[in-house]
Chain A
Amino acid sequence: MRRALWIVVLGIILVALVTHALQGDMPNPFGSREGFGVWFAALLTLAILSFLYQDNPVYRFTEHLFVGVSAAYWMVMGFWSTLVPNLFGKLWPDLTARLFVPALKGTRDPRWFLYFIPLVFGGLLLMRLLPKGQHLSRWALAFILGTTAGLRLIAFLTADFMGQIQSTLVSVAGYRAALTPGGMPHWSFEQMFWDLVAVIAILAALAYFYFSKEHKGAFGKLSRVGVWVLMVTFGAGFGYTVMGRIALLVGRVEFLLRDWLRVL
Chain B
Amino acid sequence: MGRFVKLVETVNTLDKRWVFLVVGAAVVISTIFRLTFPEIPTPMVRSIFEKIESLPAGSRVLLPFDYDPGSEPELQPMADAYVRHCAEKGLQLYFIALWPLGQNMVESTVSRVLNPEYPSFAYGRDYMNFGYKSGNEGVIAVILTDIKKLYTTDAQGANIDSIPMLAGISNIRGFDLILTASAGYPGLKEWIQYAGTPGNIPVAGGCTAVQAPLLYPYYPEQMVGLMGGIKAAAEYEALLLERYPKFRGDKDRFQTALTRMGPQTVTHLVIILFIVIGNVAFQILRRRRRQAQGA
Q: Which of A78, A104, A180, A237 is the one whose CB lies under 8 Å from B54?
A: A180
Q: Which of A89, A147, A159, A183 is the one whose CB lies under 8 Å from B222?
A: A159
Nearest to B139 among chain A residues (CB) is A82
Looking at B34, B51, B54, B157, the one whose CB has the most chain A CB atoms below 10 A away is: B157
Q: Do most interface residues of chain B lie in helix, strand or loop, or is the interface mixed?
A: helix
Question: How far is B194's CA from A246's CA once the two chains are assembled, in angstroms?
Answer: 32
Q: B138 contacts A147, CB within 8 Å?
A: yes
Question: How far is B27's CA from A252's CA once the two chains are assembled, in angstroms?
Answer: 10
A180-B197 CB under 8 A given contacts A253-B28, A263-B32: no
Q: A243 contacts B198, CB within 8 Å?
A: no
Q: B197 contacts A158, CB within 8 Å?
A: yes
Question: How far is B74's CA from A251's CA once the two chains are assembled, in angstroms?
Answer: 8
Question: Which residues does chain A contribute within 8 Å of B135, judged by CB atoms?
Answer: 82
Q: A107 contacts B152, CB within 8 Å?
A: yes
A226 at interface, CB cutoff 8 A: no
Which chain B residues in 94-142 approach chain A with CB under 8 Å?
A: 100-101, 103, 131-135, 137-138, 141
Q: B229 contacts A247, CB within 8 Å?
A: yes
Question: Which residues does chain B contribute within 8 Å of A160, judged by CB atoms?
Answer: 193
Q: How many residues of B contact A (CB 8 A)?
A: 66
Q: Which of B17, B27, B162, B224 is the one whose CB lies under 8 Å from A253?
A: B27
Stretch in A10-18, A21-29, A133-141, A148-156 touching the partner? A148-156
A81-B194 CB under 8 A given contacts A101-B153, A147-B138, A247-B209: no
Interface flags, A211-255, vs B, CB<8A=1, else 0: 000000000000000000000010011001111101111111110
Distance in angstroms from A145 CB to nearest chain B CB is 13
Q: Which of B54, B134, B210, B218 is the one whose CB lies under 8 Å from A82?
A: B134
Stretch in A31-39, A123-131, A166-174 touching the partner? A166-174
A209 at interface, CB cutoff 8 A: no
Q: B27 contacts A246, CB within 8 Å?
A: yes
Q: A166 contacts B209, CB within 8 Å?
A: no
Which chain B residues in 137-164 approach chain A with CB under 8 Å?
A: 137-138, 141, 150, 152-153, 155, 157-159, 162
Question: Which A residues contact B (CB, under 8 angstroms)?
Answer: 52-53, 73-74, 77-78, 81-82, 85-86, 89-90, 101-104, 107, 147-148, 151-152, 155-156, 158-160, 163-164, 166-167, 170-171, 176-177, 179-183, 233, 236-237, 240-244, 246-254, 257, 263-264
Q: A52-B17, A104-B152, A179-B225 are in contact. List 12 more A-B contacts (CB 8 A).
A: A77-B101, A77-B134, A81-B100, A163-B222, A167-B218, A179-B47, A246-B267, A247-B73, A247-B264, A249-B267, A263-B32, A264-B32
A-B contact pairs, 19 of them (CB 8 A): A78-B100, A103-B152, A103-B153, A103-B158, A151-B141, A155-B198, A176-B220, A179-B224, A183-B50, A241-B210, A244-B229, A244-B230, A246-B23, A246-B264, A247-B260, A248-B71, A248-B73, A250-B31, A254-B31
The 10 A-B residue pairs with the shortest CB-CB distance in the complex, in nearest-first order? A251-B73, A244-B209, A167-B221, A77-B100, A159-B197, A103-B159, A159-B193, A155-B193, A240-B209, A247-B230
